Amino acid sequence: MFIKITKKQFNKKNVWHPYTSMIKPLKCYSIKKAKGVVLKLFNNINLIDGMSSWWSCIHGYNNSILNKAIKTQIKKMSHIMFGGFYHKEALKLCNNLINITPKELKCVFLADSGSVAIEIAIKMSLQYWQSKGEYREKILTIKNGYHGDTFGAMSVCDPKNSMHNIYKKYLTKHIFAESPKCKFNENWDENDINSFKYLIKKYSKKIACVILEPIVQGAGGMKIYNPMYLKRVSELCKKYEILLILDEIATGFGRTGKLFAYEHSGIVPDILCLGKSLTGGYMTLSATITTKKISYIISNSKSGCFMHGPTFMGNPLACSIANANLEILNTNKWIKKVKYIENYFKKTLLPLIKSNKILDIRILGAISIIETINYIDINKIQRFFINNGVWIRPFGKLIYLMPPYIIKKTELNILINSLISLFK
Ligand SMILES: Cc1ncc(COP(=O)(O)O)c(C=O)c1O
């Protein structure tokens, strides 16, 4: 297969990578293995991981507990259809998720990725209203959001900072409130909720659900907003009896310093979407969790059921790793680690704000974001980071760090020093 061309050439010519051109692809590096927070490239260069493989690998790579879970499960059964069967690992996982989320959330729908969890949550809300005899097609969300790359998810991503422009003619048109301006630690300004309040009131009878990322908006702008905003959103949803979907796919499982970001606001969603670090970043799996009331109303519809059923729903391997992941989290050691990372980020990165290349620095939990004034040349900056022994992958004007929670001080220093030297 690789006789005439090298692996590098084959990759460039035949393999599509995320958000990349097949004509002028971004540079791609050959990786051999990963352990802890160290990524080993094919030429034996070691990189400290600052990305947790897009918010997912919270306990590091090649983790012995997660490895053991998958090895044990693979001997029993890698996969079995979920239609007509149940198994120990899926039941254990659903029970674990019910135990760590608000008591109102009791019914778990397992699926295969974050985007699919969003599709499921949207479909649940549409079917809920249909079952109640009302036709509601609109979704209210906020600008700068990101919820995935499938069609339903794309339709609620930020209209500018996303693929909206390319696909907008094919997407259902939804309602976008201004994104929150009030920052996490600032004094709450009641005016911040005005745009959302106006729109929810105006379209209340057309809106099936509200969807947003709690506290931290990810790929749509990497913004961290005031917990009071989310509290007001929840109150308004209750007032107008509109379902609230929280997308915790990126923020869930400790990343913001709380197990779930909605805890910063003390609110309870009607539907909760989880993914990414649900399996400690080992495998793709998602969960959409809702209340008994919503699931019963949906089940009372003409169809008599919720119309979704992915092939790999409840995959035993993924469920077993997710259970092992939750066991690690259950020890609560992550709380201290995430706090440590947050404090260290604050101490070392906040002084960079003096740089005339930086517009803003935002830090919460094990997340730090540097917003630059000018757009970043990704190929160039990636090379710079690799030469400095770190894996950091910026986009637009955003350079961000979200390392695995297990990162040690020396490793964190390598990551941070590479950023500091970039702005010297
Ligand atoms: C907040 C949020 N929602 C949904 C998704 C989509 O998840 P997936 O890539 O697993 O489909 C992402 C992915 O980055 C995300 O950050």
Q: How far is the CA of 150 from the centre of ligand 1 (A)?
A: 10
Enumerate residues 6+ apart whose C-beta is below 8 A from 415: 48, 50, 390, 392, 401, 403, 407
Q: How far is the CA of 355 from the centre of ligand 1 (A)?
A: 32
Q: How confident is the model at residue 185 (pLDDT cuts 50, 70, 90)?
A: very high
Atom of ligand 1 nearest to the CA of 251: 1
Instruction: Summarize the confidence of residues 32-51 as an average pLDDT.
Output: 97
pLDDT on residue 103: 98
Instruction: Summarize the confidence of residues 320-336 as an average pLDDT.
Output: 98
Residue 47 CB less than 6 A away from ligand 1: no
In this predicted structure, the answer to whether residue 342 has a pLDDT above a threshold of 90 is yes
- Which active-site residues does the annotation give? 19, 146, 247, 276
In this predicted structure, the answer to whether residue 1 has a pLDDT above a threshold of 60 is no
Show the domains of the chain with their CATH numbers.
68-330 (3.40.640.10), 332-372+384-424 (3.90.1150.10)
Instruction: Summarize the confidence of residues 229-236 as an average pLDDT.
Output: 98
Residue 281 CB less than 6 A away from ligand 1: no
Supply the residue whose CA is at minimum distance from atom 5 of ligand 1: 148
Residue 261 CB less than 6 A away from ligand 1: no
CA distances in angstroms from 336 to 266, 291, 341, 377, 406, listed in the order given: 21, 32, 9, 35, 10
pLDDT on residue 3: 62
Percent of the chain past pLDDT 70, that is, above it, reads 99
| Region of 280 on the Ramachandran plot (φ > 0 left; ψ -120 to 50 alpha; else beta) | left
pLDDT on residue 166: 86
Q: How confident is the model at residue 63 (pLDDT cuts 50, 70, 90)?
A: very high
pLDDT on residue 2: 53
Q: How far is the CA of 250 from the centre of ligand 1 (A)?
A: 7
Residue 119 CB less than 6 A away from ligand 1: no
In this predicted structure, the answer to whether residue 52 has a pLDDT above a threshold of 90 is yes
In this predicted structure, the answer to whether residue 193 has a pLDDT above a threshold of 90 is yes
pLDDT, tens only, 72-88 = 999 999 999 999 999 99
Euclidean distance between CA atoms 61 and 15, whole angstroms: 24
Atom of ligand 1 nearest to the CA of 276: 10
Picking from 344, 349, 347, the residue whose alpha carbon sits closest to that of residue 410 is 344
pLDDT on residue 161: 76
Q: What is the CA radius of gyration of the chain?
A: 22
pLDDT, tens only, 359-372 = 999 999 999 999 99
Q: Average pLDDT of the chain?
A: 96
Q: How far is the CA of 151 from the centre of ligand 1 (A)?
A: 13
- Main-chain phi, psi angles of 44, to 5 degrees: 70, 10
In this predicted structure, the answer to whether residue 164 has a pLDDT above a threshold of 90 is no
Residue 146 CB less than 6 A away from ligand 1: yes
In this predicted structure, the answer to whether residue 198 has a pLDDT above a threshold of 80 is yes
Percent of the chain past pLDDT 90, that is, above it, reads 94
